[in-house]
Amino acid sequence: MDQVLVECIYCSSEFNPARGKGDHVFPAALGEFEGLRVFRGACPKCNNEIGKSEEELIRCGMEAYLARVSDPPRRRRTTNPKWVGSKTSPPPVMSTKRHGAKLRVRPVSRNPQDIDIPDQIVIEDQDGNHYPILLHAKWTKNSVRAKINALGIVGKFNVHISVSDESRVKLEQVAEVLWPGEELNELPLTEVGNHPVEINHVFQVTDHYFRSIVKMALHYYLCYNKRGKLGNEPEFAAVREFIKNGGEPNQFLISPKESPVKVGTPFGRTPCGGAITPREWCHFFFAEDSAEFIVVCINLFLGPGYVQEPLFVRLGDRLSTETDGGVWAHHLQWTPGATVKGTIKEIAVGYQQNIQILAGPGLSQIDRSSWSGMIF
């Protein structure tokens, strides 16, 4: 039987789309869903290369935090609490302030809100910048000195200490060598038990993060568009180049104000202007394929008390002589901790009024006072 070969939209090489699993629109770490279409227009080599960008999305962006909170459906699960970065960006950094010192914190479970404060010293320079240095099990005065020297701090600096009883004696001995005659600023001890603290998260990403977002938008559009577009058409040349080789994200990612499509939270708003959040966790995808433009809206990790700002991706402009391809949207829902696939359904859309406040536990408020959108 003859194999049916197709041309990869990214490198133009021929391959058999029936071999391999294809691309699942977004990585499995964001959830696995029954009935979600698979894009089969990318050859295995290009699909693997694109996957390197997705690694940054799921490990280094805010999605890494939200995936732990919402625990999307996956057949293969992990219990490792450690944050792991990608080949292109470091993992998220978590810190808190205690008695004026900025301390590094670490998760003790998959729940990112379940943390402890490891032994550390904090170097404070003359400008008030804080540099935590973790004291690992085998730390020595030489390893501490090397880390301090690597900071390149000029002039005097303050040292804040946050250590357990086991490390205090050793640190006092080392301090006599590193800072002879100096008085150490040891932070007051915290009583044993659970204590609420305010955690600051720092997410560092490169263009790989945005390439993965644009890839999701393109493959979602290609899987569900009603024009029969395959992705190798000339109007997608620029977006294909960005996904594969990188570049300036702002040529595709646009702000809600700039977007010709106004899509808001799909669950409506409260009388005072706040966003209504769903009882279950879900992702929301929306596409409008008009005669003038193609825009996809991606709103990941909507959940109880959580509403994120939607991401708008403009895939390209179209000739005004062409007819509209329509609008469509999908709602992907799951129960946290499930090992079976989540559900997906196509939904209808309609217009809503202004949304003024978007917020979620552990996230900063987003003022969207002039933003109007669409709901189903």
User: What is the model's pLDDT at position 284?
Assistant: 92
User: What is the model's pLDDT at position 25?
Assistant: 84
Is 60 exceeded by the pLDDT of residue 38?
A: yes
Is 70 exceeded by the pLDDT of residue 82?
A: yes
- For the chain, give the percent of residues with pLDDT over 70: 80
User: What is the model's pLDDT at position 295?
Assistant: 94
Mean of pLDDT over the chain:
81
Query: Across residues 115-132, what is the average pLDDT?
Result: 87
User: What is the model's pLDDT at position 351?
Assistant: 45
User: What is the model's pLDDT at position 268?
Assistant: 63
133-192 confidence digits (pLDDT tens)? 888 878 787 888 888 889 888 778 888 888 877 777 777 777 776 776 555 666 555 555
Is 80 exceeded by the pLDDT of residue 356?
A: no
Query: Across residues 33-55, what is the average pLDDT?
Result: 90
User: What is the model's pLDDT at position 358?
Assistant: 42
Q: If pLDDT is split at 50, 70 and 90, which confidence band does 368 have?
A: very low
Among 38-47, 169-178, 213-222, which range has the highest average pLDDT?
213-222
292-318 confidence digits (pLDDT tens)? 889 999 999 998 888 888 899 999 877
Is 90 exceeded by the pLDDT of residue 252?
A: yes
Task: Output 211 or 305, whichever has higher pLDDT.
Answer: 211
pTM for the whole thing? 0.82
Is 80 exceeded by the pLDDT of residue 19?
A: no
Task: Output 183 or 247, whichever has higher pLDDT.
Answer: 247
Report residue 138 as tokens: 């085998």
Is 80 exceeded by the pLDDT of residue 102?
A: yes
Query: Across residues 260-265, what is the average pLDDT?
Result: 73
Q: If pLDDT is split at 50, 70 and 90, which confidence band does 194 have?
A: low
Task: Output 365 or 208, whichever has higher pLDDT.
Answer: 208
